[in-house]
Amino acid sequence: MTTLSRRKALQAIATAGVAPALASQAPSALAAVSDAAAATSSGAVKAPWSNWSGSAKAAAATLQTPPDAAALQQWMRASTGAVRCVGAGHSFMPLVPTDGTILSLDRMAGLLSTDKAAMTATFQAGTRLAQLSRQLDQAGFGLRNLPDIDAQSFAGAISTGTHGTGAELPALHADVQALQIVTPRGELLECSAQKQPDVFAAAKVSLGSLGVLTQATATVLPAYSLQRKVWLKPVEELLEAAPTLAKQHRHFEFYYLPFTGYAAGITHDVYTGTDVLHPEAADEDMLRDLRHLRDWLGRFPDLRRWVAKKLIDPDQTELAQDRSWKLLSTQRPTKFNESECHVPRELGIACVREVIKTLERRNDVFFPMEFRFTKADDAWLSPFYQRDSCSIAVHAAVGEPYDYLVAEIAPVFRKFQGRPHWGKLHGHTAADMPALYPRWKDFLAVRAQLDPTGRMLNPLLRTLFGVPSAT
């Protein structure tokens, strides 16, 4: 068995969330389409589709990749039938599947302009976060925060309320100042806090149900660097310290390593120096070791904990310094399925204690659990709507059972008033929503107004929004 050395312990944590972002742009969502896809003379393809983890699949009639908003408008006007947008296909919930058209903005990507006086950037909505970060950096700007990975398209990311970590930092969509949307009727609609404010409040997080987001203008910062620190602590100590650490650092999060009693704290703070420091390239040794420990000692949890404690050196710390976007987002070579819930900030630690207890009732669990902080915002379907939050994410490796992430953990999230991440596995239904989202009915009204025939809906959204299928 590989030794759980200090180095490897940190590498494992890196695997879970702190590996340096690689420079390459994420592969196209279209790569998920089978090679067997057959192109037709119209440019549309009839193809099977699958998301990143394989938890959602579709057999769409056609796949469209319009080159610009005008072509998209024309196609919307000329066509009929269901349409679902896809970004990078990194949502775990079946938000994309449709037997109609899957529409990708992979050809509508890139930074369009920046405004130094207003500190905003305007870009095409299909731009992947990795590309956006790189182009912004070249222009001297940076996004305020980023999620764990940067493979997502901007439109896809904001549509599910994608977030990073930071007690004072809201989710990505909160930095959006204006959106351009091609509606299901093929109209080009522009919205902001001043122009069609209700549509704007609904469109920032809309699960792709209002139309196709084609362009966004967002607040940016001058390009900046961060310093990252990673350290291991007995989980109880980190749970105690977490609220203070979140106040002290620009970004704070931790990962709990199941059946070890340890958690990894991670902070990122602004770094004004110029030295670039990278930890050794992250590998997956520790994740493999955690899996091996589970495989060999899973039936003996006390022994598993004892062995893990012997093997992990808690004194190890690690430091990294680089441009913000190179540190905040990482790569995830080991695929997983995931459920995440956002609970009121003050309930976060109590909730995570119960989540850990519930997870460790299952001896098959080995994947690290993530705990983050997100600031409130005002988008109607934002899981952070008027609520500073803590986010708790549980994972299971692809190829292993994952139903329990919802069946067993969701009751704990519900008990703590959790709002599910729209893109991650959850079991919430239409009946749950009005109590969780004060502007739920207002959102439904905007949706019905923009898409009266339900063209942008699929089975999941019909269930969530309580819209019967049009037969």
Ligand X SMILES: Cc1cc2nc3c(=O)[nH]c(=O)nc-3n(C[C@H](O)[C@H](O)[C@H](O)COP(=O)(O)OP(=O)(O)OC[C@H]3O[C@@H](n4cnc5c(N)ncnc54)[C@H](O)[C@@H]3O)c2cc1C
Residues 382-421 that bind ligand X (CB under 6 A): 421
Point out which span in 86-94, 258-266, 270-278, 411-419 binds ligand X (CB under 6 A).
86-94
CB of 315 to ligand X, least distance (A): 28
Residue type, 155: A
Print the binding letters for residues 17-56 with ligand X: x by CB under 6 A, - otherwise: -----------------------------------x----
CB of 10 to ligand X, least distance (A): 20
CB of 249 to ligand X, least distance (A): 17
Yes or no: say if 101 and 84 are a contact pair by the CB < 8 Å rule.
Answer: yes
Contact between 125 and ligand X per CB under 6 A: yes
Shorter beta-carbon distance to ligand X: residue 230 or 293:
230
Shorter beta-carbon distance to ligand X: residue 92 or 416:
92
Residue choice 14, 18, 33, 105 for contact with ligand X (CB under 6 A): 105
Point out which span in 151-159, 236-244, 398-406, 439-447 binds ligand X (CB under 6 A).
151-159
Shorter beta-carbon distance to ligand X: residue 101 or 160:
160
Print the binding letters for residues 306-345 with ligand X: x by CB under 6 A, - otherwise: --------------------------x-------------
Shorter beta-carbon distance to ligand X: residue 23 or 117:
23
Yes or no: say if 207 and 379 are a contact pair by the CB < 8 Å rule.
Answer: no
Residue type, 359: L
Instruction: Put the strands of the sheet holding 212-219 in their side by side order.
Output: 111-115, 120-124, 212-219, 176-182, 188-192
Q: Which of 136, 342, 106, 132 is nearest to 221 (CA)?
A: 136
Beta partners for residue 83, in sequence order: 101
Contact between 147 and ligand X per CB under 6 A: yes
Shorter beta-carbon distance to ligand X: residue 91 or 382:
91
CB of 465 to ligand X, least distance (A): 12
Contact between 162 and ligand X per CB under 6 A: yes
Q: How far apart are CA 31 and CA 49, in angstroms?
A: 9
Angle at 188 between CA 186 and CA 192, to 5 degrees: 140
CB of 2 to ligand X, least distance (A): 24
Shorter beta-carbon distance to ligand X: residue 92 or 440:
92
Shorter beta-carbon distance to ligand X: residue 322 or 340:
340
Q: How far apart are CA 88 and CA 65, in angstroms?
A: 13
Contact between 143 and ligand X per CB under 6 A: no
Shorter beta-carbon distance to ligand X: residue 77 or 116:
77
Residue choice 20, 94, 100, 156 for contact with ligand X (CB under 6 A): 156
Place of tokens 């909160």: 174
Contact between 100 and ligand X per CB under 6 A: no
Q: At 205, give phi and psi (nearest 5°).
A: -130, 105
Residue choice 4, 13, 149, 266 for contact with ligand X (CB under 6 A): 149
Contact between 145 and ligand X per CB under 6 A: no
List residues near ligand X by CB under 6 A.
52, 84-91, 95-96, 105, 125, 147-149, 152-153, 155-157, 159-160, 162-163, 207-208, 212-213, 332, 421, 423
